[in-house]
Amino acid sequence: MWRRVTGRLALLIPLAGPIVAAAADAPPGASSCSGCHSASLATQTPVRRLVGRPSADVVAAMRDFRTGQRPATVMDRIAKGFSDAETAAIAEWYAGQKP
């Protein structure tokens, strides 16, 4: 049983580095984005990366998700959980990150 558990945990180790690194100096809430929006160029994902994107683009997208002007599966609900100030801080932080 332990072999199975440790084997599964080993699969998560490569994911822990980017999440921990992002959380060290990120504004509150930013680390939750990295679950879907990978910072690593090595990770293949259909979800757009936030790293290096202009903050105005991220703020506009979050506003559009919040108001329902942009179609979403879960981002409409997630966007409603952040204030304008929190969204702006997260967007600025991601804009300053390098891929």
Q: For the chain, what is the domain count? A: 1
Comparison of pLDDT for 46 and 12, the residue scoring more: 46
Alpha-carbon torsion 55, 56, 59, 62, what sign? Answer: negative
Helix, strand, coil shares of the chain, percent, nearest 5, are 60, 0, 40
Range of the domain at 12: 2-95
pLDDT in tens, 46-67: 899 999 999 999 999 999 999 9
Alpha-carbon torsion 61, 46, 78, 53, what sign? Answer: negative
Distance CA 14, CA 30 (A): 19
- What's this model's pTM, rounded to 2 decimal places? 0.72
- Domain of 39, CATH number, reads 1.10.760.10
Task: Kindly report the average pLDDT of the chain as a whole number.
Answer: 82
